[in-house]
């Protein structure tokens, strides 16, 4: 008779001290444990909704109410999260450390794939992110980045350039073009007279498509652009 199948997870010394590991878990228990420890794809995590995709980007709108916690989920793609509604999160990396972070509205960063984690909203405000996943690189013709005055680069690497646009009331960003495609994410709502912009809305722009912001309101405008390379 074959020896019983060993569990996929080696017992720790603490497990042994607790009596675990002496009798191997059943195969089904092993599979369940493995699923819990690896995480679901981010697209199957219920708080993450895919709201747009083309050949280059997949946009996820993620909301986490106060006190809520995600499943362990895996980001298989490099991505740029943009904080639309800020707060405090506790991040647990699978098989790794736990850390608490306060995220202010408008923060954006580059997250290198692949990683598996779980996010808990431990603050007093609901959290919302727009996450731009990089499906493919842009086959650049070699043209350099176009940087307009009010667009301040936050992150730049060989995959993307991420920039913030901040406009005071009655200050506009004149229409201009970029040589690369970009995703323009609205961080603050703005009473733009021509086209109202809602926080968390976004727009994909092909290379050469003019973009600008006419901030004719009495509110500060903030947006984030993710430019493909």
Shortest gap between Cβ of 57 and Zn ion (angstroms)? 16
Residue number of the CB atom closest to Zn ion: 148
Shortest gap between Cβ of 142 and Zn ion (angstroms)? 19
Shortest gap between Cβ of 225 and Zn ion (angstroms)? 6
* Residue nearer to Zn ion on the CB measure, 7 or 167: 167
The sign one gets for the Cα dihedral 19, 24, 28, 32 is: positive
CA–CA gap between residue 35 and residue 6 (Å, rounded):
17
H-run or E-run covering 80: strand 79-85
Shortest gap between Cβ of 170 and Zn ion (angstroms)? 19
Residues that bind Zn ion (CB under 5 A): 148
Q: Are strands 127-134 and 57-64 parallel, antiparallel or unpaired?
A: antiparallel
* Residue nearer to Zn ion on the CB measure, 140 or 148: 148
What burial letters (b/e) apply to 99-133, b meaning 16+ CB within 10 Å?
A: eeeebebbbbebeeeeebbbbbbbbeeebbbbbbb
* Residue nearer to Zn ion on the CB measure, 25 or 167: 167
* Residue nearer to Zn ion on the CB measure, 85 or 148: 148
């Amino acid at each position: 008779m074959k020896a019983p199948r060993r569990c996929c997870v080696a017992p720790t010394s603490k497990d042994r001290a607790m009596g675990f590991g002496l009798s191997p878990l059943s195969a089904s228990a092993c599979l369940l444990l493995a699923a819990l420890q690896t995480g679901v794809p981010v697209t199957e995590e219920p708080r993450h909704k895919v709201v747009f995709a083309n050949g280059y980007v997949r946009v996820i709108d993620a909301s986490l109410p106060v006190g809520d916690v995600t499943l362990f989920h895996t980001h298989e793609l490099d991505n740029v999260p943009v904080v639309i509604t800020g707060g405090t999160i506790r991040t647990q990396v699978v098989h790794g450390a736990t850390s608490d972070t306060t995220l202010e509205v408008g923060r954006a960063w580059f997250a290198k794939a692949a990683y598996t984690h779980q996010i808990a909203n431990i603050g007093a405000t609901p959290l919302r992110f727009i996450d731009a996943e990089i499906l493919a690189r842009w086959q650049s013709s070699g043209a350099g980045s176009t940087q307009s005055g009010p667009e301040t680069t936050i992150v730049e690497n060989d995959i993307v350039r991420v920039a913030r646009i901040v406009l005071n009331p009655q200050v506009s960003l004149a229409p201009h073009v970029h040589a690369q495609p970009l995703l323009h994410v609205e961080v603050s709502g703005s009473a733009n007279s021509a086209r109202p912009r809602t926080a968390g809305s976004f727009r994909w722009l092909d290379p050469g498509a003019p973009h600008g912001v006419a901030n004719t309101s009495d509110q500060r405008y903030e947006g984030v652009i993710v430019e493909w390379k």
